[in-house]
Amino acid sequence: MSTIGKNIAGFLLSVYLCIMSYYLYTHQYFNADIEAYMGLVYKYNFPDMKIEEIHKKVYDELKSKDPDTGKSDLSHKEEAFGENTYYQTLSENPKAYEEELSLFTVKPLYNFVNSIFFRLGFDASTSTFLITIISYVLIVALIFIFLSDILKNHYLALLLTILISLFKPLLDTSRHATPDGLSTLVLLLSFYFAVVKKNLWMAVLFGVLCILTRPEYFIFYSLLLVLLYIFRSDFSFKSKNIVFSFILFAFTFGIIQYFNQIPWSVLFMNQFTKVQLYPISNPDSFNFHEYLACIKSKVLFEFNTSYFPLLLIFIIIILDYKMLKKKDRKSLMYLGLFVAVYFTVLIRFFMFPSLVNRMMVGFYLIIILALIACQNSKSQIMRKTA
């Protein structure tokens, strides 16, 4: 398509993203985690500030923007014992609040970026969600670039990009003060450099940043490296470089876990069985029977309320089984990617039995973009053989 068409599509997308940025900035959720991330912003920028002062600053700011902050939520049945009154306790008890902050230090890159925005002059609450809006804009721009490359039609790429940008999990992610938007951005960037640019080291760099944002992505990247090793000749990647990439990922994950003060068992209990008011100084013992009961009670509900069953239907429809039988390497790569995604989600579920859509949005987008690329590849083959 002509350069004029490309420029027009780019201009329209820019206008659209400006409108969406304003909407997201003015329609932020003040979700339950925001007070912890705000506390870490103060803690990192003012290491000598007492927890009582941090606690007061955080809740004074939040209550000025959302008067319901810190109130008990009795509108739903408790999933973990004590969760309905947990946030009221935190708003009244600086000591419990201080220990809660330790639950959120395992996302160092997100906390670091928040601290930068705070130093630039934004208030603490705004600092925690600015990166999610910026990530949304960059994610949408990256999707447009990727689709333009594979479809060779800028207007079709623009239409699909806008439709994907309105995908509810992506919008919800961009309205929460969480690391999910940033982790999705660096995940897509690592894929873009590996698959489109064939640049392993840039892909590994963004992979490390993704793990620093959400450590559980280490599972996914480990499986992807296995996939890359199998198909290394298709990407012209050397075996030793792939092995070294795994060492970098493992080292990054290990460093995070080394400095993490909260064991997995306490994180699990706090979310799914019994709230831990003092997870460092007085954690409860882990109960394996309660763990199994939780897994059994949530497995069907969580998967059925996610988009994974729906996306699996499209995977089954779009995959070219004739090419798979012929052991076509591109078709096998797509199959391997989908298996890696679903296997990662399954492993993650047994560690943390929740498939909240904003946490899964990176996987959703990988599947959607891979399906578009797969279908486009099939169409090209059909045109050549017609």
Tokens standing for residue 29 = 């959720």
What pTM value is reported for the model?
0.94
Measured in degrees and rounded to the nearest 5, phi and psi for residue 193 equal -70, -30
Q: Distance between CA 188 and CA 97 in Å, rounded?
A: 34
226 neighbors 344 (Cβ within 8 angstroms)? no
Say which residues have a Cβ less than 8 Å from residue 359's Cβ, sequence separation at least 6. 180
* Residue type (1 letter), 173: T
User: In which residue are the tokens 């008990």 written?
Assistant: 72
CA proximity to 241, closest of 282, 205, 279: 205
Query: CA dist 18 to 7, 12, 182, 189, 209, Å?
Result: 16, 10, 19, 21, 26
Residues of the chain scoring pLDDT < 70: 1-2, 70-80, 378-386
- In tens, the pLDDT along 339-352 reads 999 999 999 999 99
pLDDT at 50 (0 to 100) = 96
d(C-alpha 127, C-alpha 159), whole Å: 32
| Strand ranges, E, within the chain | none
pLDDT for the residue 178: 94
pLDDT in tens, 70-118: 666 655 666 667 777 888 888 899 999 999 898 899 999 999 999 999 9
Q: What string of H, E and C letters represents the secondary structure of 170-204? A: HHHHCCCCCCHHHHHHHHHHHHHHHHHCCCHHHHH
Tell me how far apart the alpha carbons of residues 282 and 293 are, in angstroms, rounded to a whole number: 24
pLDDT attached to residue 72:
63
Nearest CA among 219, 218, 238, 214 for reference residue 228: 238
Which pLDDT score is estimated for 74?
55
Contact 206, 190 (CB under 8 A): yes
CA–CA gap between residue 179 and residue 111 (Å, rounded): 9
- In angstroms, the CA 134 to CA 120 distance is 15
Structure tokens at 214: 């959400």
Q: What's phi and psi for 274, nearest 5 deg?
A: -145, 130
pLDDT at 267: 84
